[in-house]
Amino acid sequence: MAVEGHRPSPIGRGMSTVIRTVVQGVWLGWKVESNWTNPFVFLTYLIAKPIAGVILVGLVFVIGSSASGMGSREDLFFYVFIGAVFFIYPATMTVSLAYLVHEDRAKYESLKHIYITPASLTPYIVGRGMASAINASVSVAVSLIIGSIIFSNHFSLPLSIDVVRVDYPALVASILLGVAASILLGIILYAINLITFKLQYSLAEYTTGVLFLLSGVVFPTSMLPYPASLIGGALPTTHFLNAVREALAGDHAYTSMAYLLLSTLALAVISLACMNRVESLARMKGTIDRKAEY
């Protein structure tokens, strides 16, 4: 049955569909992931887990530096702590997008319904990634505040951030680029999971594990053996964390930001090509509505 009077004009219809899909993805992601009405879920994912991760890194720092007898090195603590806090962005977002296939395909069985709409999957994933970024921002803010209070008060390790010196435009730009890079990485993981089954539970964890090791989160990438150090240097997450550290310290962050921009653009080319190929490949392989069972 034709419904007249509601069809968008052909000009701009494509763009309008993309924007609507992104917004729909953000809305759905917000509803699904940030279950604000359930304080338990909110506390678990947005507060307890991220804070525990940050405090864990901080305690390793305290115990390791105390065992080495090097005393409290505030500059190193700043490096490690800020690395751990802002690593929440790529960790949360890649996990969220990698699991999205399993969630939509097997748990809610909604992937097939999304796939058969005229919209491409990519704007939907971008929308979901943005919802995840909003959640991650809450976790980052809470971890930064609570973590710095704990380490400053209980372990005499104040976080050397001078609010006057912080380069706010660079900080905001770095975070936006970091979020974009995390969404693009998430799209690649989504694409892999869309055509495979074996990695749907582990791919996210492999990725966060590799990023944690190679992105200079808690130690500089220069300590890694070759070629791991080279890979670390090419990852946008490495430059994202460096740019954030520099912006917060009020240092010149633009070199790191330039690297971040370049690596994000490269990632964009790879991830969009991946998704483009995979959307039709999944249809050919019949993996859009198939469930893995163990």
The answer to whether residue 108 forms part of the interface with another protein (CB under 8 A) is no
Q: From CA 77, how far away is CA 158, in angstroms rounded?
A: 9
User: Which of 217/274 has CB closer to another protein?
Assistant: 217
Do 240 and 267 touch, CB atoms closer than 8 A? no
Shortest distance, CB of residue 61 to another protein, whole angstroms? 7
The answer to whether residue 149 forms part of the interface with another protein (CB under 8 A) is no
Query: Hey, is 5 helix, strand or coil?
Result: coil
Question: Which residue's entry shows tokens 């939509």?
Answer: 104
Shortest distance, CB of residue 41 to another protein, whole angstroms? 6
- Which residues touch 145 (CB under 8 Å, ≥6 apart)? none
Question: Which residue's entry shows tokens 């802002």?
Answer: 86
Size of the site for another protein (CB under 8 A): 46
CA dist 65 → 68, 70, 73 (Å): 5, 6, 8
User: Which of 135/264 has CB closer to another protein?
Assistant: 135
% helix, strand, coil for the chain, step of 5? 75, 0, 25
The residue from 44, 152, 255, 276 that contacts another protein (CB under 8 A) is: 44
Q: From CA 276, how far away is CA 287, in angstroms rounded?
A: 15
Binding-residue pattern over the window 216 to 255 for another protein, x denoting contact by CB under 8 A:
-xxxx--xx-------------------------------
Helix (H) or strand (E) holding 88: helix 88-102
Shortest distance, CB of residue 155 to another protein, whole angstroms? 8
The residue from 12, 39, 66, 153 that contacts another protein (CB under 8 A) is: 66
Do 203 and 192 touch, CB atoms closer than 8 A? yes
Q: From CA 190, how far away is CA 138, in angstroms rounded?
A: 24
The answer to whether residue 145 forms part of the interface with another protein (CB under 8 A) is no
Which range, of 6-14, 123-131, 207-215, 265-273, touches another protein by CB under 8 A? 207-215
Which range, of 16-24, 35-43, 134-142, 277-285, touches another protein by CB under 8 A? 35-43
Q: From CA 136, how far away is CA 50, in angstroms rounded?
A: 9
Which range, of 215-223, 229-237, 255-263, 274-282, touches another protein by CB under 8 A? 215-223
The residue from 19, 60, 258, 273 that contacts another protein (CB under 8 A) is: 60
User: Which of 43/258 has CB closer to another protein?
Assistant: 43
- Which residues touch 281 (CB under 8 Å, ≥6 apart)? 195
Shortest distance, CB of residue 206 to another protein, whole angstroms? 6
Q: Decide: residue 77, CB within 10 A, 0-12 exposed, 13-18 middle, 19+ buried.
A: buried
User: Which of 122/207 has CB closer to another protein?
Assistant: 207
Query: Which parts of this chain interact with another protein (CB under 8 A)?
Result: 40-41, 43-45, 48-49, 52-53, 55-57, 59-70, 76, 80, 155, 198-199, 201-202, 205-206, 209-210, 212-213, 217-220, 223-224, 292-294
